[in-house]
Amino acid sequence: MNKKLITIAIQTAIMGGALSLAPQVYAADDTEIAKPKLEATADEQGKEPEIQEKITVTGSRLRRDSFSITTPLAVLGRDDIEDTGLGSLAEILVEELPQISEGSSNSNSQSSVQNTGLSTIDLRELGTNRTLTLIDGRRVVSNSYSGNYVSLSTIPSGMVERVEVITGGASAAYGSDAIAGVVNIITQQDKEGFSFKARGGESTEGGAKEFTLDLDYGTEFADDRGYLFFSSTYDKQYGLSYWDRDRAQQQESWRYNTAEMCNAMYSEDNTSSKGTCMRDMTQADWRNLSDSIAGGVFDEKSSYKPDSGFWYDENGLRDDWHEEKYGRDFNQFVMLKVPDEAISAAIKVDFELTDDIQSYFQVQYSENRSINQKSPESEDEFDGIVVIDPVTGESSQIGAGRIPKNNPYMPQEIYDQASSKGVKWDRGFDEVGNIINDNTRKTIRSWAGLQGTIFDGNWDWDLSVGYGKFTQEQTRYNELYIANLTHALNAEKLDDGTIQCADADARAAGCVPINLFGEGSITPEAADYIRATPTISTDVQQTTVLGYIAGDLFEMPAGPVASAFGFEYRKDEQSVDTNVPLGGVSFNYVPTFSGDVSVYEVFGEAAFPLLKDVAGAKSLTAEVSARLADYSWSGTGLIQSYKTGVTWQPVEGYAIRANWARAQRAPSITELLSPPRGDYDSFDDICEGTTLTSTDAGHDNCRLEPGIAAVIADGSEFEDDNNGYSPNVGNSELKEETADTYTLGITLAPEFAEGLRIAVDYYDITISDAISSFSNEDIIDYCYNSSLDFGDDNNFCNDIQRDAEGQITTVNQRVYNVDEIKTNGFDFAAEYRYELDKYGSLKFKADWTHVIGYEQTVQSPEGPATTNYEGDLSQDIFEDKVTASLSWYYDDAWRVRWSTRFKSAVVASRSVYDDWEKAITKNNEYCADGSDKCVLEPEALDDSFYNLPSYITHNLSVSYTLDLANDGELRFFGGVNNIFDDRGPFMAIGGRGNFDSNYGGGKGRFAYAGAEFKF
């Protein structure tokens, strides 16, 4: 098959993806696909070839030589991918390219309603929604209704040839969502033959086991006019549990006690929610337990004090309840890494119809399943459950209610002290079973098209259509129907001793009375009656039509003006359905909603050669591009994205490049249209500590809340015990985001140091009208403690709901165009290759990303407030991230690679420091006023928890290839990642199981081995 390079480039990437002479990262195999030379005849040998094929690179559709790109480009080659020993492409990119961070992964999505099992990435920490992931240069269907999330686990690993990354506004080339940049997955182009690979690995301490099988086949057919490639992957990640790591089993509940001004943990000596000073205890005294125990807790007087109510252990009823002594550690049910299983396959076919026209086709299919085993459902008498009025559509909350005082199962001791309102309770529903979150995702992506040449071969054209569909079936086993539980608690005893549900209609519907008193007291029949199995079904579809032409417009003295013009039509559709549309189930309520949008786009770009081969300018090229997009919904204006750049090569091997880009992102369907979708986040209530006379910020307004007023009426203090429910809510008034990106860089490939290449690029990105939501604490603060009036006229107050006891039951997190995000820094990349003659060759590669600043400005009622998040782990922003490797190649058989990864020191959370600083200020005021609340020697934040040290890991991989008969190969490979078993700092602030996914999530040292057979 006569596959011209330009044909391959247009076919598979629309704009290709070939290596630049001066990119930030270089493919490890050093395959010279850029600027190939025509083969010389015998008569021409010794002459310099004059013709070089022009190619296209990620970020543009222009045909030109590969030195003339203005935007920094990073490339990760096939060998680099294989040498990591990892099965997840997302993990590989995060490990190898410091510009990239994890989005959703199996190590950070344990508590997510819909994202468990996704593997997405995030450029510059600007958000997954602002990182556009392409496959062969094509926009593809999303793997989540939350936004444009492309899960890299849906792509067969054997299909990937390399990955190219552009950071900073690429919307002029690709449209909305490319504000942070583009990650382009380039699939295999011309691989022939059969290959089979098996890989397995596991942490040396146990857990985190992985197993992968790859099967690929490529061949030419029809007298080399056609090319077919098939790839399939099976990957299983077994996960990592609480029981796999001793550190995870250490209880902790760090907080800063603002009354005693000390670092605190819960302990058996607690007297309030503020905890006990750590200076007065040892690590063995730390506690973080729950009252949702298997036998139940009844009429609990306090969550923090001893002798606080009745409870059941395995021996029966007791009256000395003490949560931090007898409670349950719920962390045991949280996976450090959620198991995941995936199978994917893809086939691509190219065929030359004529000398000038070629057809291409590709289809990819994947199925991913993630099963997250969680705790048994935990409920109390009013753990607010969302219900929807079937007539009005309005939402409210219900609870199971107290156990009626006349409940026939109630022990006499509890009955004697019970209120006429009934008995309060907390219980884990172990008899119903552990909650199981089962996510099954299916994705199909396909496209087909024709391409060719016109105008005597001087212009290329491409016309294609694409279709993708993603479905997700999420099933939550062993949840509870709250209305059924209420009916079951309302039981009566007949004269013959039979116990039945008191409500006749409930009995007719199958009601079974329930006994909550004691371990194992719920009968299988009662468990079946209250058990719910809610499902969420997601359907996302995308249809695209794309066409463009590329060629030289006219000649300038320095050369031809390369150009490209085209159009794109895209329709995105999504729907979310549930089998419990009216709610009433102990589950993060996600309502039924749907939406669609059609987008019509036109684009064009051109590169103008200004100078060539003159004094001071080997070449000087200017580039411009623009894209206009019209969205079918009225709220989004005309999306306008532009880019202009210049590349100056003063002498051979040295270049300076500069770029400015204006990029815009339209709101997603969910951001615009979503009703409240259930979610839980921890937050503190500003009304904590409110009394009849307290003077803390906001407490005057807190006393106006009826529930709080009732609690403090007898002189008591209000204690925050919120449920953390904070659903996400869309906003139909959203408009587009706008970003301006500036880059300035130099590339060096000096002749005196053959094999050395260096690139340094500065970037500056500012996003205005960024779509975001206020934090829960901010929403609460703007209601109770801002210049806005407290009450119904305050929208922030309207997004807060409290129950009869004053506890917050809901904080709606509505999205707004409220943020400005600014980040700047630089990327440094170096590669050096050195030949050792008969001893092979060495390759050194290093990539360094330095963040100078990362600021987020939020428009608040008091005016704009700016926070610097550079070096803040809670935002995943490290000041410095470095990857470096040294590879040795010998005799086309051996490949040995040592790699190192570095992350700079960070603080755990700047918001924690801000809260501490506020407490210090308040304490200083108490001391100045002579208040008895003054603490003379307040503690600083615990340095070991707040100031986290730098983190460095080392990896070793070895590969040996054995030649077999008939051009066959057998390759053995293995290695150890994180050789010195550095698991990062103890995470008392954030993280899971005292680990953080930025430091491996507890995996530690990981060993792997495998083999690959080719023929």
According to the model, what pLDDT value does residue 116 have? 78
Distances (CA, A) of 901 to 428, 977, 998: 43, 11, 12
Last residue of a domain, one of 811, 834, 869: 811
Do 727 and 831 have their domain in common? no
Distances (CA, A) of 903 to 229, 847, 882, 954: 39, 12, 7, 12
Do 746 and 850 have their domain in common? yes
Cβ–Cβ under 8 Å, residues 808 and 801: yes
Do 122 and 149 have their domain in common? yes
pLDDT for residue 63 is more than 90 = no
Residue 12 pLDDT level (bands cut at 50, 70, 90): very low
Q: Return d(Cα 185, Cα 741) in angstroms, integer.
A: 23
Tokens 């409290």 found at: 802
DSSP class per residue in 453-507: EETTTTEEEEEEEEEEEEEEEEEEETEEBHHHHHHHHSEEE-TTS-EEES-HHHH
Residue 227 falls inside a structural domain:
yes
Last residue of a domain, one of 793, 811, 829: 811
- Taking residues 336-352, what's their average pLDDT? 94
Extract the runs of DSSP E, i.e. beta strands, from 37-152: 73-77, 100-102, 121-123, 131-135, 138-139
Q: Return d(Cα 546, Cα 548) in angstroms, integer.
A: 7
According to the model, what pLDDT value does residue 531 have? 98
Residue 40 pLDDT level (bands cut at 50, 70, 90): very low
Do 844 and 902 have their domain in common? yes
Extract the runs of DSSP E, i.e. beta strands, from 64-221: 73-77, 100-102, 121-123, 131-135, 138-139, 160-167, 181-187, 193-203, 210-221
Beta bridge partners of 467: 446, 543
**pLDDT per residue as tens digits for the range 407-451:** 999 999 999 999 999 999 999 999 999 999 999 999 999 999 999
According to the model, what pLDDT value does residue 37 have? 29
Beta bridge partners of 843: 833, 887
Residue 147 falls inside a structural domain:
yes
Lookup: tokens for 974 = 């293995």
According to the model, what pLDDT value does residue 351 have? 96
Mean pLDDT, the chain, whole residue set: 89
Domain total in the chain? 2
**pLDDT per residue as tens digits for the range 781-795:** 999 999 999 999 999
According to the model, what pLDDT value does residue 65 have? 39
Q: Return d(Cα 656, Cα 472) in angstroms, integer.
A: 47
Q: Would strands 813-835 and 728-729 be described as parallel, antiparallel, or unpaired? A: parallel
272 or 233, which is more confident: 233
Neighbour count for residue 189 (Cβ, 10 Å) = 22
CATH assignment at residue 358: 2.40.170.20
pLDDT for residue 879 is more than 50 = yes
According to the model, what pLDDT value does residue 23 have? 34
pLDDT for residue 460 is more than 50 = yes
User: b vs e for 683-711, b when ≥16 Cβ sit within 10 Å of the residue's Cβ?
Assistant: bebbbbbbbeebebebbebbbebeebeeb
According to the model, what pLDDT value does residue 60 have? 61
Residue 52 pLDDT level (bands cut at 50, 70, 90): very low
Closest by Cα among 60, 8, 821, 614 to 348: 8
According to the model, what pLDDT value does residue 168 have? 66
Do 135 and 203 have their domain in common? yes
Residue 70 pLDDT level (bands cut at 50, 70, 90): low
Per-residue 3-state assignment (H helix, E strand, C coil) for 798-811 = HCEEECCCCCEEEE
Do 659 and 726 have their domain in common? no
Do 679 and 821 have their domain in common? no
| DSSP for residue 518 | S
Do 747 and 690 have their domain in common? no
Residue 54 falls inside a structural domain:
no
Residue 61 pLDDT level (bands cut at 50, 70, 90): low
Q: Return d(Cα 905, Cα 828) in angstroms, integer.
A: 19
Q: What percent of the chain has pLDDT over 70?
A: 93
Do 646 and 701 have their domain in common? no
Lookup: tokens for 490 = 């309302």
Structural domain containing residue 224:
73-243+337-373+439-474+537-591+600-667+736-768+816-908+945-1014
**pLDDT per residue as tens digits for the range 285-319:** 999 999 999 999 999 998 888 899 999 999 999 99
Q: What percent of the chain has pLDDT over 90?
A: 73
Distances (CA, A) of 550 to 462, 567, 607, 873, 878: 9, 12, 12, 45, 41
Per-residue 3-state assignment (H helix, E strand, C coil) for 860-919 = ECCEEEEEECCCEHHHCECCEEEEEEEEEEECCCEEEEEEEEEECCEECCHHHHHHHHHH
Distances (CA, A) of 768 to 155, 733, 818, 820, 825: 33, 16, 8, 5, 18
Q: Return d(Cα 368, Cα 237) in angstroms, integer.
A: 11
* φ/ψ of residue 506, rounded to 5: -65, -40
> Which burial class, exposed, middle or buried, applies to 912 when counting CB atoms under 10 A from its CB (0-12, 13-18, 19+)?
buried
User: Which segment of 181-185, 225-229, 441-445 scores lowest on mean pLDDT?
Assistant: 181-185
pLDDT for residue 353 is more than 90 = yes
User: Which segment of 163-172, 324-333, 338-347, 566-575 scores lowest on mean pLDDT?
Assistant: 163-172
Neighbour count for residue 597 (Cβ, 10 Å) = 19
Do 635 and 700 have their domain in common? no
Closest by Cα among 643, 639, 638 to 606: 643
Residue 928 falls inside a structural domain:
no
**pLDDT per residue as tens digits for the range 737-747:** 999 999 999 99
Cβ–Cβ under 8 Å, residues 34 and 18: yes
According to the model, what pLDDT value does residue 45 have? 39
Residue 276 falls inside a structural domain:
no
Do 798 and 885 have their domain in common? no
H or E stretch including 797?
helix 795-798
19 or 513, which is more confident: 513
Cβ–Cβ under 8 Å, residues 839 and 890: yes
Residue 151 falls inside a structural domain:
yes
Distances (CA, A) of 378 to 426, 448, 533: 7, 51, 16
* φ/ψ of residue 461, rounded to 5: -135, 155
Do 730 and 748 have their domain in common? no
Last residue of a domain, one of 784, 811, 838: 811
User: Which segment of 538-547, 626-635, 883-892 scores lowest on mean pLDDT?
Assistant: 626-635
Residue 118 pLDDT level (bands cut at 50, 70, 90): confident
Beta bridge partners of 573: 541, 596
According to the model, what pLDDT value does residue 41 have? 33
Residue 120 falls inside a structural domain:
yes
Residue 54 pLDDT level (bands cut at 50, 70, 90): very low
According to the model, what pLDDT value does residue 170 have? 77
Q: Return d(Cα 873, Cα 741) in angstroms, integer.
A: 24
Residue 28 pLDDT level (bands cut at 50, 70, 90): very low
Residues 6+ apart with CB under 8 A from 710: 804, 805, 806
